Amino acid sequence: MRFGIEFVPYEPVEKVVELARKAEEAGFEYCWVTDHYNNRNVYSFLTAIAQNTEKMMIGPGVTNPYLIHPAVTASAIASIDEISKGRAILGISAGDKTILDSLGVKLEKPLATMSESIQIIRRLLAGEKVNFDGKIFRLSGVKLNFKSKHEIPIYMGAQGPKMLRLAGKISDGALVNASHPSDLNYAVSQIRSGADEAGRDFKEIDITAYTSFSVAESDEKAKEAAKPVVVFIVSATPSVVLERHGISTEDASKVREALKSGNFGEAMANITESMLNSFCIHGTPADCIKRIEEISKSGVTQLVIGSPIGPDSSTSIGIIRNEIMPSFR
């Protein structure tokens, strides 16, 4: 099991760089930075992290082709690869419908959009002059003025069955937003089907569990830190996934309605034990080790420690280094 870590750039860059350094020292091999318009810019943070680390692979987790054109993404990630001396990775997905709706952008033809985006990005990174006439994108004589010296792995964020199968067909890695074995077992089966359809070796794909994670020496403190993140996960989770975990539509609606009305305290109060267990790896180091062991059986090859990490990110990174990672190395 390889370990990655996710940072959300809502804090000043100095704080995130400090945490990234600590993560690298702890043995994390991947560093993913989220890309949302309402946070600080992902590529400025990746630049700072690249200049202050030496080993970790770094990249956006994830950007999307609806707000950022694939040609712009290709230029940006090639620049990060140059700055980091060959450590860039690219995470890309169709995007968050709620955020796209708020910006007046329609989430149309996501499968075609993702497939074409990855084709365009790969060709530009290879130094090609790209002419492309697709269902979504049309490019005429587009070329970067510099060429990436390294092959940059492209990871696809995917959740639905069709997108998961597409990830199995065309990606170097699949980023699956899930923390529970049942969700990951389902996702891996779909990714494997896609790889089989494309005649690919499934083992070539880095199956990445992009988890919500909260560890502390105190189980209660870990739970409290997890609740704000789980509020947003529950509000965005489709009914078919809720049913898989035995969470009623009524209980999920209480969280959604409270969040929609701006009553965040009420939304957190409606987070149940079942929701926490379904959508977050949380608790003491022993609790977290047990869950990681369970999901490793599904075929996951990289575990991303995602928000909130714990009540205090720096302390939790130390706990992961000293009490969790040794069980998987």
- Whole-model pTM: value is 0.95
Token output for 176? 């699956």
Bridge partners, residue 3, by sequence: 303
**Three-class SS state of 226:** helix
- Reported as half-sphere exposure (CB side, CA atoms, 13 A), residue 212 has a value of 23
Q: What is the CATH number of the domain that holds 159?
A: 3.20.20.30
pLDDT in tens, the chain (329 residues): 999 999 999 999 999 999 999 999 999 999 999 999 999 999 999 999 999 999 999 999 999 999 999 999 999 999 999 999 999 999 999 988 878 988 999 999 999 999 999 999 999 999 999 999 999 999 999 999 998 889 999 999 998 999 999 999 999 999 999 999 999 999 999 999 999 999 999 999 999 999 999 999 999 999 999 999 999 999 988 888 999 999 999 999 999 999 989 999 999 999 999 999 999 999 999 999 999 999 999 999 999 999 999 999 999 999 999 999 999 98
For 107, the token pair is 């989430």
- For 88, the domain range is 2-328
CA quadruple 310, 314, 318, 321: dihedral sign: positive
Query: What is the Cα–Cα distance from 80 to 103, expressed in whole angstroms?
Result: 27
Number of domains in the chain: 1
The H or E element spanning position 230 is helix 219-236
- Confidence at residue 148, expressed as pLDDT on a 0 to 100 scale: 84
